[in-house]
A and B are shown apart, each in its own frame.
Chain A
Amino acid sequence: DQQVKQNSPSLSVQEGRISILNCDYTNSMFDYFLWYKKYPAEGPTFLISISSIKDKNEDGRFTVFLNKSAKHLSLHIVPSQPGDSAVYFCAASGRNNDMRFGAGTRLTVKP
């Protein structure tokens, strides 16, 4: 039962351009959403989060947008840098506090 979906397994962008990673969820009980970044052979690291009472949260080059009616969130990275190349996971949590992850999107930023 895939409650969190990342339909794009990979994304390639040019350095300096915007990267947009998308995520959809099916469970309307989710009220807290996060993005994680993962390098090979390492554990995921937290990037940015947003609660369901907001529709946007910004932290430096990273902005997360939440569209509750569409059950969709996105992560914008601008400008993209080669060091941003990694796998990005979308995650969602509900009242029972368990956290579900998407399948990930591999971002490649080309110099």
Chain B
Amino acid sequence: NAGVMQNPRHLVRRRGQEARLRCSPMKGHSHVYWYRQLPEEGLKFMVYLQKENIIDESGMPKERFSAEFPKEGPSILRIQQVVRGDSAAYFCASSPLPPGELFFGEGSRLTVL
């Protein structure tokens, strides 16, 4: 059973470009969480999704950021018009049925030049 798969592992963008981060949850998991980790900081909650639904997006900036988890395919975290402050590691985690442990991917490291 493959773990949570995130891609790309590393992404470099120039200011103003778009970044798309993908997350394929573990098989059978219908709950997906996205977290951001800034250098030397903890994991900051961004958004919690179930299939086709956003359950809690209270941690996600209102502008430029969006997330989806379609019926088919991976969850996508989209950042439009990236700025240098968006440079961080973005972690995705999945869960079969909360509450319970989250299974994390290895993260996608975004660098904005």
Residue ranges of A at the interface with B (Cβ–Cβ < 8 Å) = 6, 31-32, 34, 36, 41-46, 49, 51, 89, 91, 93, 96-104
Contacts and interface: CB of A to CB of B under 8 A. Distances in A.
A64 B103 CA distance: 20
B43 A44 contact: yes
A96 B56 contact: yes
Q: Which 10 interchain pairs have the tightest Cβ spacing?
A: A43-B104, A103-B42, A97-B98, A101-B43, A46-B101, A32-B99, A98-B48, A98-B56, A104-B42, A93-B99
A42 B93 CA distance: 13
A43 B91 contact: yes
Contact of B106 (A6, A42, A100): A42
A99 B45 contact: yes
A100 B102 CA distance: 11
23 contacts: A32-B99, A36-B104, A41-B106, A41-B107, A42-B106, A43-B4, A43-B106, A43-B107, A44-B91, A89-B43, A91-B102, A96-B55, A97-B31, A97-B98, A98-B55, A99-B33, A99-B48, A99-B98, A100-B45, A101-B42, A101-B45, A103-B42, A104-B43
Interface string B3-23: 010000000000000000000
B99 A97 contact: yes
A32 B100 CA distance: 8
A108 B56 CA distance: 35
Contacts of A32: 99-100
Contacts of B99: 31-32, 51, 93, 97
Interface string B73-113: 00000000000000000010100001111111111000000
B72 interface: no
Contacts of A6: 42
